[in-house]
Amino acid sequence: MAAGSIDLEVVQTVEGIREAVARARGSSAGLRVGFVPTMGALHAGHARLIERCREVADRVVVSIFVNPTQFGPTEDLAKYPRTLDRDLEVAQRAGASVVFTPTDEIIYPRGKAATFVEVPGISHVLEGAVRPTHFRGVATVVLALFEIVRPDLAVFGQKDFQQQLLIRRMVGDLHVPVEIVTEPTVREADGLAMSSRNRYLSPEERAAATVLHRALEAARAAVRGGEREAGRVRQILDRTISLERLASLDYAEVADADSLEPLVSIDASRRAVALVAARVGTTRLIDNALLAE
Distance CA 51, CA 69 (A): 28
Provide the 10 A C-beta neighbour count for residue 105: 9
Contact between residue 143 and residue 117 where contact means Cβ atoms under 8 Å apart: yes
- Tell me: does residue 194 bind ligand AMP (CB under 6 A): yes
For 80, the 3-state DSSP assignment is coil
Q: Which of 156, 166, 283, 289 binds ligand AMP (CB under 6 A)?
A: 156
Q: What is the largest CA-CA distance in the chain?
A: 60
Q: In the chain, which residue ranges form alpha helices assigned H by DSSP?
A: 14-25, 44-56, 84-94, 104-107, 127-130, 134-149, 161-173, 203-208, 211-224, 230-242
Q: Which of 51, 87, 127, 160 binds ligand AMP (CB under 6 A)?
A: 160
Q: Which of 11, 17, 25, 38 binds ligand AMP (CB under 6 A)?
A: 38
Stretch that binds ligand AMP, among 53-61, 186-194, 200-208, 237-245 (CB under 6 A): 186-194
Stretch that binds ligand AMP, among 41-49, 101-109, 140-148, 215-223 (CB under 6 A): 41-49
Contact between residue 5 and residue 88 where contact means Cβ atoms under 8 Å apart: no
- Tell me: does residue 196 bind ligand AMP (CB under 6 A): yes
Q: Choose among 156, 135, 141, 140: nearest CA to 36.
A: 156
155 CB contacts (<8 Å, ≥6 apart)?
A: 34, 35, 36, 49, 50, 52, 53, 56, 181, 182, 183
Q: Choose among 85, 9, 94, 8: nearest CA to 40.
A: 85
Q: Which of 33, 39, 107, 201 binds ligand AMP (CB under 6 A)?
A: 39
Q: Which of 33, 35, 46, 54 binds ligand AMP (CB under 6 A)?
A: 46
- Total residues binding ligand AMP (CB under 6 A): 17
Q: Which of 17, 99, 166, 193 binds ligand AMP (CB under 6 A)?
A: 193
Which lies closer to ligand AMP via its Cβ, residue 162 or residue 227? 162
Give the angle subtended at the CA of 255 by the CAs of 252 and 261, to the nearest 5°.
120
- Tell me: does residue 51 bind ligand AMP (CB under 6 A): no
Stretch that binds ligand AMP, among 9-17, 115-123, 182-190, 199-207 (CB under 6 A): 182-190
Q: Which of 34, 95, 102, 157 binds ligand AMP (CB under 6 A)?
A: 157
Which lies closer to ligand AMP via its Cβ, residue 65 or residue 108? 65
- Which residues are the active-site residues? 46
Please state the closest distance from residue 247 (CB atom) to ligand AMP, in A. 19
- Tell me: does residue 254 bind ligand AMP (CB under 6 A): no
- Tell me: does residue 149 bind ligand AMP (CB under 6 A): no
Site residues (CB under 6 A) for ligand AMP?
Answer: 38-39, 45-46, 48-49, 156-157, 159-160, 183, 185-186, 193-196
